[in-house]
């Protein structure tokens, strides 16, 4: 599964000169966790996340404290005051499995997708989950179609809970090709090949 197959494009984004209130409104109304920040040429210059906002915009409530609170620093006005300027990015041709490692080992929930410096989309953990959520029947139909496109109709294909079993005879190379074709179909979770040379 490649990033271009599951990314959200175009990505909701915000201009670098926008006010923090506008960013908070977009994060809340669109129910997203990260906003790419772009310049006039749609080049990615940073991101503003829920964490960036929470770090600076939420004040302690004096009602929950027994002691007097210190004076607060001024509230940021523009997103450039709190945005992350060197975000993790990806490109359209990256294997989604590589992004899963990033999502697992960091607190990142969404990653901007760029072509050069230009923002072309965004991919999130929930995009990956949605891609995995397909019926076995739908996967089977897509697999049969893709195998036919590659002239590989001799293989028998079964799907159960997103796990694909490909059966047939062929060389080790033929089996490798069958696995590669099956893995290219969006929603396939695992591939097994049963057959002989």
pLDDT tens column, 143-176: 999 989 988 888 889 999 989 999 988 888 888 8
According to the model, what pLDDT value does residue 66 have? 64
What are the chain's domains?
A: 3-63+74-131 (3.10.580.10), 136-194 (3.30.70.1770)
According to the model, what pLDDT value does residue 160 have? 92
For residue 57, is pLDDT > 70? no
According to the model, what pLDDT value does residue 131 have? 83
Is residue 9 within 8 Å of 113, Cβ to Cβ?
yes
Q: Which of 40-44, 63-67, 192-196 has the highest mean pLDDT?
A: 40-44
Is residue 162 within 8 Å of 190, Cβ to Cβ?
yes
The phi and psi torsions of 22 (rounded to 5 degrees) equal -65, -40
pLDDT digits (tens, 9 = 90+) for 71-108: 666 677 789 888 999 999 999 999 998 999 999 999 89
Is residue 1 within 8 Å of 93, Cβ to Cβ?
no
Among the listed ranges 5-9, 120-124, 186-190, which one has the minimum average pLDDT value?
186-190
Is residue 123 within 8 Å of 88, Cβ to Cβ?
no
For residue 26, is pLDDT > 70? yes
Q: What is the pTM assigned to this prediction?
A: 0.72
Res. 32 pLDDT band, cuts 50 70 90: very high
């Amino acid at each position: 599964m490649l990033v271009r197959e599951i990314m959200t494009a175009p990505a909701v984004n915000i201009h670098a000169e926008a006010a923090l209130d506008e960013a908070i409104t977009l994060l809340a109304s669109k129910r997203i966790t990260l906003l790419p920040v772009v310049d006039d040429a749609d080049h990615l210059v940073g991101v503003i996340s829920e964490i960036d906002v929470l770090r600076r915009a939420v004040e302690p409530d004096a009602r929950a404290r027994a002691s007097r609170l210190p004076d607060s620093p001024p509230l940021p006005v523009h997103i450039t005051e709190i945005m992350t300027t060197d975000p993790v990015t990806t490109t359209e041709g990256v294997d989604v499995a590589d992004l899963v490692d990033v999502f697992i080992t960091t607190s990142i929930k969404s990653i901007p997708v760029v072509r050069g410096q230009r923002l072309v989309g965004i991919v999130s953990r929930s995009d990956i989950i949605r891609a995995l959520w397909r019926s076995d029947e739908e996967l089977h139909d897509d697999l049969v179609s893709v195998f036919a496109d590659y002239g590989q109709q001799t293989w028998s294909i079964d799907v159960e809970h997103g796990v694909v079993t490909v059966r047939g005879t062929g060389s080790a190379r033929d089996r490798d090709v069958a696995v590669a074709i099956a893995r290219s179909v969006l929603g396939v979770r695992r591939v097994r090949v049963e057959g002989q040379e």
